[in-house]
């Protein structure tokens, strides 16, 4: 996984950069196919904008958050990336794993017996 960090219009402190890298490494919990993560932190007047771009195997995720402090903006954006990756992971895990009903011949093979008094006969049980 390739991690790039860019700061625009200000210098990102070393501890904020390290904080961002530790948050980005946790993204692999939900997606093992992350090829590249690019973080751009921009200072705009009194706000800092953090934008994550993740390149995965078949898709690209982009998240943008803003806050008064750069660390808070990075934290908010990382939380949103976590949510999106969690949803993506759930969709990947659930996709195609529907439980199929048992085939007719296999239902009796499990050893389950019918309660006494039940009849296998098919037909009308009304008296004539």
List pLDDT tens digits, range 90-122.
888 887 665 556 677 665 555 555 556 555 555
Q: Tokens 């007719």 label which residue? A: 104
Which 3 state secondary structure label does DSSP give 111? coil
Read off the pLDDT of residues 32-68 as tens digits, 9 standing for 90 and up. 899 999 999 999 999 999 999 999 998 999 999 999 9
The CA distance from 58 to 9, in Å, is 32
Cβ atoms within 10 Å, residue 123: 6
Mean pLDDT throughout 14-27? 95
The CA distance from 59 to 84, in Å, is 12
77: nearest Cα among 68, 85, 66: 66
């Amino acid at each position: 996984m390739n991690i790039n960090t860019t700061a625009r219009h200000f210098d990102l402190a070393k501890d904020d950069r390290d904080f961002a890298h530790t948050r980005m490494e946790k993204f692999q919990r939900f997606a093992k196919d992350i090829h590249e993560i690019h973080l751009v932190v921009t200072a705009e007047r009194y706000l800092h904008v953090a934008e994550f771009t993740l390149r995965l195997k078949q898709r690209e995720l982009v998240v943008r958050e803003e806050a008064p402090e750069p660390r808070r903006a990075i934290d908010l954006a990382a939380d949103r990336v976590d949510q999106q990756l969690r949803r993506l992971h759930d969709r990947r895990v659930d996709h195609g794993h529907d439980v199929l009903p048992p085939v007719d011949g296999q239902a009796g093979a499990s050893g389950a017996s019918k309660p006494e008094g039940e009849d296998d006969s098919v037909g009308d049980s009304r008296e004539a």
